[in-house]
Structure 1
């Protein structure tokens, strides 16, 4: 069972957390999350326990417990959602570019900054319902 542990004192080491959970069963691994740039602890981490029943017992007993002056948060870790990576330039590219509402600028086909979600206009002209000559759309 994979367990999330939060609100940890920043001075705690992985060995300290392993010892805390070992009272409830076999600890397979402990991973405290650290800041990539500074290397300092972020105050949360994950504990993997060999048996689900032992993990559930640890969650029941340790959630809200005072550890070095802090009430820790302990619950079953949820699977991480795939957000497509992360970091700079991880968003999917969109067509249309940054433009004024209703077209103009470069790329006269219309479409604002996000055509997929309808925030930029689409076509620069609207057609009549009878399919006649396109008419200019009012600008905001």
Structure 2
């Protein structure tokens, strides 16, 4: 077990518009404002494209399956964080064709709008690194 202790900073409400890409927009916004670490505390909205990956086995090394869904979807749950400026989100979304879930990947696109509320975490210098097991874990950097 590892732990990292910081302090809460600004609260940010970000509203993405139709056609904006989720991860790419969050990454750009955080970089422009110098926000390195934050927790996603609320998300409501809709998507027209969802790109996710999911684990496919119980092995120690992660093997993932990628899926792209193009459907009108309501975001039912979107949780995650931004560490070292890099967003890491997991989602459950409901569409006409079914229920979808997984780790959000680039090219996920907003349908009507997506309201995201973030709480900044200050006093930490963190980054995610890919381990030999193909898992991105958090590390403190000097």
TM-score above 0.5, yes or no: no
More helix by share: 1
**TM-score, structure 1 normalization:** 0.26
More strand by share: 2
Q: Which has the higher contact order (CA 8 A, sep 6+)?
A: 2
**TM-score, structure 2 normalization:** 0.26
Q: State which structure, 1 or 2, has the greater radius of gyration over its C-alpha atoms.
A: 1
